[in-house]
Every structure is written in structure tokens, then in C-alpha cells.
């Protein structure tokens, strides 16, 4: 379906940004600095790579526009004949664009003076996307973000996934939306951006002047405020909290027990499949990061819970600080002219953010629960799993533990599953942290390398072996020094012979 292309476009966007690392080799034209301007009498006959604080296109770019800019404008009279792939704060389209627009940032504006070629689509991951009054988008509008406002004319489909979608103009095609709502005021806390952004009330709003030529399909916690004309059918899927067994007992006519059980089993199956997919990957690459933290839990459960709670609370602030520092670094890089190093720095910051934030999310959402599942599976599997194959036994025990864990954490009772799942995540996360601390201590202990042969050390570096869990255990510490006496002589040490024994007598 066309509305799913927003996810594909987002992934492709990152791929293009990674291409900036080698753009200086292949690009015929690129610019960096505080202010980048393509003058009205200037024509760039190739792709144009940028890393600027402000970017103004008044001339012609015959290829694609690729890069990053805090404030970018295709001015009236300006023309980008190819695609636009841009990351930054704001993108304002006042001029002509010959192919699709892909943007990731804060604000995207399509104004009434913009001239887009036939079937040009806009794909955006942004806080705010606005199609101005009397502006025309010939193709589809695909947005993942907080809000989208359509005051002009979208001649294709609209696909939106976020909080607030407002339609005051015309959409000739279909509308697919997943919106927020349930409150009467914007749920986003406005940040003092240097852009004009008017935050809308969460939910779907089709005002009296709005018109949708095709079907309207949307999901949300409450019905939308629809006062305009809908040419096709309206399909609304209410997103409500999962009913529990107590609601089924009190409201038998609205919530049937069989429906509760069916939804319960569906969520269990979904969790089992997702956890096992992550578990198989980790088991194949570094199984010690599941099994060794699980082995720590029986004797260090309280410490694991404390460490996990602290780390879980710190994850969001650390991610936010990392993003803010990265944005500041991007601004600094755009102000400094370093040639190809500017593009390399932008790519490196994006990769670091993706790896760090994505890694933390994976550990918290999956690894921590896999540790608990592995512990449960090993305890139950001692009597249930009988196979000589070690790998099969590990996977079967993990599967058994995952099934038991998800059955408990999805139980349809108020707060029971949520609390159990939270406690499990904290304990599993803390066990992973304790395991990481032990690995660090194992690597840093000066006596440990002495027990590995030189050939083995060359083929398998100590740090890599320890991280993957393939290194041998370090020798135990001992403060008992060997004392004097014949008991400490090496075996077979009989230099004194029989004569020595006789002389001793």
C-alpha cells in the first residue's frame, strides 16, 4: 500500500545520508559553511551536496539536492530538477521541484508559490508539516511526526502517523491516519524553535471547508471531529486500552470473556515471536550476554533490580542529551568549513546516535526480558527438555522461558502484567550491567593474560573473547603463600637418593 512508503522512505533517507561520507569523491558540486546560496544566475549541472547553517536556492540544480541545513529554502525562481534529500531544522518550498521531496527535521512548509512537477510526492519525518492555503501537491503526502496541516490541495493520498492531523483544504485521494487524542489540548510541550509552528489539538480534524475525495481510514483513541465532505467511506478503528477479565465480568454485553482470551493469546504470540527473533540473533552472535546474566540472578537479584531501575531511568535523559549535543555539533560543523570532513562528521553523528539510542532500546526492550526468560527456561527445562544437542537445548529452554514469561506479563488483570513486566525488565537489565562490570574487571586484571598462550592471544584478542563470552575464566585470587618444607617440592624431586636418607638417619 502506498501509505506504507513513508517507512521505506525513512530508511532510504538514512542510506543517502551515509552516502555523504564519500560524496566528495563523486559529487561535482558541494558546499559547506554558515550561509550557502545558489544565485539566481547560477546553474549546477549535477547533484548538489550541502552542509550549511542556512541554504537558499535561487538558481537551478539539475540533479538532486542532498545534505543537511538548519534552515533551507527553495526560493521563488529557484529550481531543483531532481529529488530533495535533506535533514535539518526547516525546509521551505517556494520554488520549483522536479522530483520527490524527502525531509527529516522540525518543520516543512509547502507555500502557494511552489511549483511541483506532476506526481511529486513528499515524505517527511518531522514535528510539523504544513501545506499552505492555495498550495498544490501533485502527488502523495506521507508523514511520520507530531502534526500535519493541509490547508491547500493534495492531489494524491495522505498517510499520517502521529498526533494531530488537520484538513482544511482538499485531498483528492484517500486518507490513512493514525492519530492521538483523548485530551483537549496539544500533548506536545512546545520548544522555543526559531520557526513559526502552531501546535494543534491531538486527533483528526476535518474542518467545514475540508474535502476528502476518497476514503477516510483512521485509528485513534476517540472519533475525529469531521465537519467537511467525505467522498468515500469512513472507517474508524478505536484504539482503547486492552480490556481485562474484570471488565468482561462487569460488562458482559460489551466485553465478552472469549474476546479477552483471544486478545490475550494474540499478544502472547506476538511477544513470543519478537523475543525469540531477538534471542536467536543474540544466541548466534554472543550467547554469553543472555546466559551469564541469567546465571547471576539467583544470588544477585536485589542488586540487579537496583541497577536496572537506575539505568532504565537514565536511558531517556541520556538519549535526550545525546540528541541535543549532536544537534549542537551539527550546527558547529555547518559553521566551520572543513571540506569533505563536514559531511563525514554529519554522517558519523547520525551513525553514533542510531547505534547508541537503538542499542539502549534493544537492551531494555528485548535483552532484559530474554535474560529472565532464559533463567525461567533453564529451571523448567531441567526436567522437560531431553536432547543431547547443546544448541537445541539452549534454544528450547529459551523458548520455554519466553512462553512462560509472556503468559504472565500479558495476563488480563489490571496492572498485574505491567508491574511484573517492569520488575522483570529492571532485574534483567541490572543483571546485564553486572555481567558487563564483571567482564570489565576480567579484562583489566593483570594476572589474567598470563594464563593464555601467545598463539591464542594473537588469534583471539582478550577483549573480544571476553565480550563474546568465549574466554576462559580467570584464575581465582589467593592470598595464601606457599610455606617452606619438603611438601612444596616438585613431584619426583629425590636428588638426595638413598644415601641422603641414610645420612639423614
> pLDDT truncated to tens, each residue of the chain (505 aa)?
444 444 444 444 444 444 443 344 344 477 888 899 999 999 999 899 888 889 999 999 999 999 888 899 999 999 999 999 998 889 999 999 999 999 988 899 999 999 999 889 999 988 899 999 999 999 999 998 889 999 999 999 999 998 899 999 999 999 999 998 655 445 444 444 556 677 888 899 999 999 999 999 999 988 999 999 999 999 999 876 555 555 544 444 455 667 778 888 888 898 899 999 998 888 888 888 898 899 888 888 888 888 888 888 888 788 778 877 877 777 676 666 555 566 677 777 778 888 888 888 899 989 999 999 999 998 888 878 877 888 888 888 899 999 999 999 988 776 788 888 889 999 999 999 998 888 888 777 644 444 444 444 434 445 455 555 555 554 544 444 455 555 555 566 555 554 444 444 4
Q: Is-contact 72 53, C-beta < 8 A?
A: no
Q: Which of 416, 444, 472 represents a domain boundary (last residue)?
A: 444
Same domain as 186, residue 37? yes
CB environment 61-70: b (16+ within 10 A), e (fewer): bebbbbbbbb
Nearest-angstrom CA–CA distance, 173 and 182: 27
Q: What is the three-class DSSP state of 266? A: helix
Please report how many Cα atoms fall inside a 13 Å half-sphere around the Cα of residue 384, on the Cβ side: 13
* Within-domain flag for 450: no
Same domain for 80 and 167: yes
Interatomic CA distance for residues 82 and 244, integer angstroms:
53
Report the domain count for the chain: 2
Tell me, what's the pLDDT at 492? 60
In 3-state terms, the chain is what percent helix, strand and coil (to 5)?
45, 25, 30
Q: Do 231 and 251 fall into the same domain?
A: no
**3-class SS at 407?**
helix
Are 235 and 251 in the same domain?
Answer: no
Residues contacting 461, CB < 8 A, separation 6+: none
Domain identity same for 134 and 221: yes
Query: For the CA atoms of the chain, what is the radius of gyration?
Result: 31
* The model scores a pTM over 0.75: no
Pair 290, 278: CB distance under 8 Å: no
3-class secondary-structure state, position 43: strand
- Residue of 1, 374, 135, 47 whose CA lies nearest to 149: 135
Looking at the fold, whether 222 and 276 belong to one and the same domain comes out as: no
CA distance 37 to 43: 12
Q: Give yes or no: residues 176 and 305 share one domain.
A: no
Q: Are residues 12 and 145 in the same domain?
A: yes
Indicate whether 116 belongs to any domain. yes
Same domain, 233 and 332: no
Q: Which domain holds residue 291?
A: 247-444
Cell of 89: 531544522
Report the distance separating Cα 495 and Cα 51, nearest Å: 81
What distance, in Å, lies between the first and last C-alpha atoms of the chain? 100
Per-residue pLDDT, 485: 52
For residue 462, being part of any structural domain is answered with no
Phi, psi of 463 (to 5 degrees): -65, -40
264 in the same domain as 231: no
Assigned domain for 475 exists: no
Q: Are 393 and 387 in contact (CB under 8 A)?
A: yes
Residues 148 and 169 in one domain: yes
Q: Helices H, strands E: what count in the chain?
A: 12, 24
Domain end position, chosen among 194, 214, 240? 240
In a domain, residue 489? The reply is: no
Please check whether residue 58 lies inside any domain of the structure.
yes
Residues 352 and 426 in one domain: yes
* Structural domain ending residue among the three candidates 240, 271, 292: 240
Amino acid at each position: 500500500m502506498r501509505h506504507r512508503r513513508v517507512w521505506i522512505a525513512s530508511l532510504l533517507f538514512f542510506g543517502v545520508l551515509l552516502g555523504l561520507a564519500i560524496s566528495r569523491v563523486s559529487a561535482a558540486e558541494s558546499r559547506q559553511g554558515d550561509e550557502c546560496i545558489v544565485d539566481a544566475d547560477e546553474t549546477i549541472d549535477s547533484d548538489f551536496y550541502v552542509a550549511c547553517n542556512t541554504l537558499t536556492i535561487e538558481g537551478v540544480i539539475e540533479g538532486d539536492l542532498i545534505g543537511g541545513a538548519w534552515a533551507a529554502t527553495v526560493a521563488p525562481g529557484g529550481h531543483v530538477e531532481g529529488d530533495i534529500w535533506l535533514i535539518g531544522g526547516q525546509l521551505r518550498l517556494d520554488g520549483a521541484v522536479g522530483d520527490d521531496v524527502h525531509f527529516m527535521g522540525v518543520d516543512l512548509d509547502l507555500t502557494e508559490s511552489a511549483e511541483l512537477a506532476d506526481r511529486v510526492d513528499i515524505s517527511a519525518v518531522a514535528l510539523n508539516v504544513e501545506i499552505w492555503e492555495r498550495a498544490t501537491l501533485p502527488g502523495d503526502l506521507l508523514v511520520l511526526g507530531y502534526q500535519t496541516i493541509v490547508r491547500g490541495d493534495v492531489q494524491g493520498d495522505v498517510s499520517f502517523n502521529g498526533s494531530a492531523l488537520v484538513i482544511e483544504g482538499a485531498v483528492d485521494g484517500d486518507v490513512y491516519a493514525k492519530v492521538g487524542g483523548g485530551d483537549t489540548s496539544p500533548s506536545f510541550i512546545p520548544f522555543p524553535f526559531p520557526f513559526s509552528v502552531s501546535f494543534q489539538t491531538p486527533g483528526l480534524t476535518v474542518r467545514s471547508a475540508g474535502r476528502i475525495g476518497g476514503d477516510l481510514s483512521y485509528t485513534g483513541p476517540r472519533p475525529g471531529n469531521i465537519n467537511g465532505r467525505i467522498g468515500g467511506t469512513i472507517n474508524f478503528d478505536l484504539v482503547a486500552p486492552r480490556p481485562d477479565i474484570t471488565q468482561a465480568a462487569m460488562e458482559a454485553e460489551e466485553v465478552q470473556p472469549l474476546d479477552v482470551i483471544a486478545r490475550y493469546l494474540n499478544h502472547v504470540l506476538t511477544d513470543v515471536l519478537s523475543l525469540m527473533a531477538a534471542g536467536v540473533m543474540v544466541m548466534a552472535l554472543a550467547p554469553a550476554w543472555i546466559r551469564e546474566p541469567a546465571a547471576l540472578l539467583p544470588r544477585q537479584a536485589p542488586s540487579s533490580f537496583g541497577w536496572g531501575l537506575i539505568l532504565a531511568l537514565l536511558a531517556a535523559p541520556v538519549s535526550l542529551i545525546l540528541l541535543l549535543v549532536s544537534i549542537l555539533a551539527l550546527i558547529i560543523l555547518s559553521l566551520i568549513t572543513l571540506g569533505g570532513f563536514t559531511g563525514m562528521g554529519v554522517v558519523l553523528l547520525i551513525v553514533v546516535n542510531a547505534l547508541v539510542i537503538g542499542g539502549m532500546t534493544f537492551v531494555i526492550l528485548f535483552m532484559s526480558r530474554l535474560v529472565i526468560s532464559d533463567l525461567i527456561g533453564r529451571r523448567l527445562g531441567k526436567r522437560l527438555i531431553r536432547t543431547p544437542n547443546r544448541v537445541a537445548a539452549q534454544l528450547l529452554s529459551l523458548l520455554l522461558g519466553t512462553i512462560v514469561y509472556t503468559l504472565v506479563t500479558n495476563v488480563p488483570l489490571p496492572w498485574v502484567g505491567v508491574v511484573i513486566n517492569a520488575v522483570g525488565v529492571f532485574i534483567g537489565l541490572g543483571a546485564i550491567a553486572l555481567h558487563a562490570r564483571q567482564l570489565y574487571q576480567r579484562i583489566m586484571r593483570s594476572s589474567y593474560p598470563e594464563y593464555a598462550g601467545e598463539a591464542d592471544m594473537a588469534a583471539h584478542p582478550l577483549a573480544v573473547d571476553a565480550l563474546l563470552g568465549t574466554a576462559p575464566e580467570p584464575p581465582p585470587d589467593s592470598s595464601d603463600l606457599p610455606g617452606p618444607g619438603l611438601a612444596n617440592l616438585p613431584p619426583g624431586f629425590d636428588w638426595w637418593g638413598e644415601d641422603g636418607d641414610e645420612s639423614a638417619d
